[in-house]
């Protein structure tokens, strides 16, 4: 059974750099370092057989295991080709104590007749075997090192293994990275990968076994995803045998399903090469990390997820408001737009829709609120200037309150109206500004433009009124000396 979350599309204005770098690192390590390992290992093992090392070393290794009382491992190795299989060689290579004694001539010493040939053959085998990147850096649970414990989560056993892991990492990684931030996401990813190795390290896996792959860390990222979303409903893709579909469910409910699935797969397929316990431990580690993150935030999720929730709610409210407006229920539409405008004060399209509905409904307070909103935004939103002109004229007629904008914004709005050919609204605003902020350098220029526009429209009296105001208030301005035609 496969269950994967289906998050929203990534925001490429803020690329998920850490997720992409993790994917690139895994791909570079596999294709740059591991891709030829099967051939390298085959050459090393072929030399091991041809040089007669198997006949010399493996019986001594099995005897050493018996001397040390490791009957379980001994039985496993002898059950496979009477201890002459590659598994026995892998167990030998994963036994640092035996290798140390072997290299110190304590297992095969110079007095033995086979020593000289064995020593030369072993030296060549060591040279060939060191070229096998995977066997050098994969985690051997029976003989872990800090380097292999870290490196194993960036390595993969095949192209299919790599591509499957990277696809899942991208699907959930960019969302978790956007929620946590790149630094915390990378830290949590690495901790989840280390946590995934814990079952192998504490259960005493056979010496011939190795562990590698990003699956445990990625399982941790999946757990972080669902814990961060909590009981919010998100869409999941699921695949059971031959049937697949999607469902929408509270995110956190999927976590126990994942955990139980990994345990069941481990119990039902004990001989499988898939490390189900690493998946289980990765899930558990990721869940604990995300829960701790939320605990420090007093139960709140990441800002990105909170904002996504609000965006989804806003989108639903916007669709409802649009339906009410289409059905001519302007009172309901305007009220819905008013609520949205509080959360999205800079949205010009929303402000325009709010104004269109508000001017057709019965509540004067909503009309005034919508008019103020378009007047606030219009100086920097040319598409709102026509609505702002209408709202301006209505506010003057009804003597309604006007928004408290900086003088520079009012001047910008007046200039925009003149650009649009709206001399009437611009002239009325300019007269108000002449009374309240007469020292603005732009006022003579704008008054001259208003007068010239009135003259072009044939409204001579209003053009002369602008010229007279310009001459009275700004007699020294260059514009006061220019003709209007």
Pairing of strands 243-250, 233-240: antiparallel
> How much is the pLDDT for 150?
93
The CATH H-level superfamily of 406-485 is Tetratricopeptide repeat domain (1.25.40.10)
Residue-by-residue DSSP string for 263-298: HHHHHH-TT-SS-HHHHHHHHHHHHHHHHHHHHHTT
State the average pLDDT over residues 152-177: 91
**139 DSSP β-pair partners:** 211
> How much is the pLDDT for 276?
85
As annotated, the residues of the chain forming the CATH 1.20.1540 domain(s) are 2-20+152-301
> How much is the pLDDT for 303?
67
Inform me whether the pLDDT recorded for 282 exceeds 90: yes
Residue 352 neighbours by CB under 8 Å, 6+ apart: 374, 383, 384, 387
Q: Count the neighbouring beta carbons within 10 Å of the beta carbon of residue 406.
A: 10
- The single-letter DSSP state of residue 148 is H
Q: Count the neighbouring beta carbons within 10 Å of the beta carbon of residue 349.
A: 12
For residue 444, the surrounding DSSP H or E stretch is helix 442-457
As annotated, the residues of the chain forming the CATH 1.25.40.10 domain(s) are 302-403, 406-485
Give me the CATH topology for the region 2-20+152-301: Rhomboid-like fold (1.20.1540)
The CATH H-level superfamily of 302-403 is Tetratricopeptide repeat domain (1.25.40.10)
pLDDT tens per residue across span 444-484: 999 999 998 999 998 989 998 988 998 999 888 888 888 86
Task: Report pTM.
Answer: 0.67
**CB-CB contact of 337 with 319 (8 Å):** no
For residue 159, the surrounding DSSP H or E stretch is helix 159-180
SS (H, E, C) 14-80: CCCHHHHHHHHHHHHHHHHHHCCHHHHHHHHHHHHHHCCHHHHHHHHHHHHHHHHCCHHHHHHHHCC
State the average pLDDT over residues 6-15: 73
Q: How far apart are the first and last CA of the chain?
A: 81
């Amino acid at each position: 059974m496969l269950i994967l979350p289906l998050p929203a599309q990534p925001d490429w204005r803020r690329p998920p750099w850490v997720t992409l770098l993790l994917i690139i690192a895994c791909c570079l390590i596999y294709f740059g370092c591991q891709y030829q390992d099967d051939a390298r290992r085959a050459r090393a093992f072929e030399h091991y057989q041809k040089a007669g090392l198997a006949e010399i070393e493996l019986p001594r290794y099995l005897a050493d295991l018996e001397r040390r009382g490791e009957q379980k491992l001994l039985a496993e190795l002898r059950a496979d080709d009477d201890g002459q299989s590659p598994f026995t060689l892998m167990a030998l290579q994963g036994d640092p104590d035996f290798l140390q004694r072997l290299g110190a001539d304590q297992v095969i010493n110079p007095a033995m007749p086979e020593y000289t040939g064995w020593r030369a053959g072993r030296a060549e085998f060591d040279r060939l075997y060191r070229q096998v990147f995977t066997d050098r850096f994969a985690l051997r649970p029976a003989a872990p090192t800090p380097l292999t414990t870290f490196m194993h989560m960036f390595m993969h056993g095949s192209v299919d293994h790599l591509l499957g892991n990277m696809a899942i990492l991208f699907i959930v990684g960019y969302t978790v990275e956007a929620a946590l931030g790149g630094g915390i996401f990378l830290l949590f990813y690495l901790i989840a990968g280390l946590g995934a190795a814990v079952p192998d390290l504490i259960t005493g896996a056979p010496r011939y076994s190795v562990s590698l792959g990003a699956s445990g860390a990625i399982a941790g990222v999946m757990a972080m995803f669902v814990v961060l979303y909590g009981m919010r409903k998100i869409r999941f893709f699921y695949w059971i045998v031959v049937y697949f579909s999607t469902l929408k469910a509270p995110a956190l409910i999927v976590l126990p399903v994942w955990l139980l699935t990994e345990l069941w797969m481990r119990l039902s397929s004990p001989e499988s090469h898939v490390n189900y316990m690493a998946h289980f431990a990765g899930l558990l580690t990721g869940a604990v990390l995300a829960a701790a993150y939320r605990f420090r935030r007093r139960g709140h999720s990441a800002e990105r997820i909170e904002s996504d929730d609000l965006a989804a709610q806003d989108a639903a409210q916007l669709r409802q408001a649009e339906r009410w407006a289409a059905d001519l229920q302007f009172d309901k539409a305007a009220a819905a737009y008013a609520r949205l405008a509080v959360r999205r004060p800079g949205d010009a399209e929303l402000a325009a829709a709010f104004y269109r509905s508000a001017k057709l409904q019965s509540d004067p307070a909503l009309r005034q609120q919508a008019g103020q909103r378009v007047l606030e935004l219009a100086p920097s939103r040319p598409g709102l200037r026509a609505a702002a002109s209408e709202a301006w004229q209505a506010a003057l007629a009804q003597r309604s309150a006007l928004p408290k904008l900086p003088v520079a914004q009012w001047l910008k709005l007046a200039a925009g109206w003149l650009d649009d050919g709206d001399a009437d609204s611009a002239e009325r605003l300019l007269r108000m500004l002449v009374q309240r902020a007469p020292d603005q350098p732009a006022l003579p220029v704008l008054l001259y433009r208003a007068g010239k526009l009135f003259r072009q429209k044939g409204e001579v009296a209003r053009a002369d009124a602008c010229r007279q105001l310009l001459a009275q208030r700004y007699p020294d301005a260059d514009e006061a000396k220019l003709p209007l035609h």
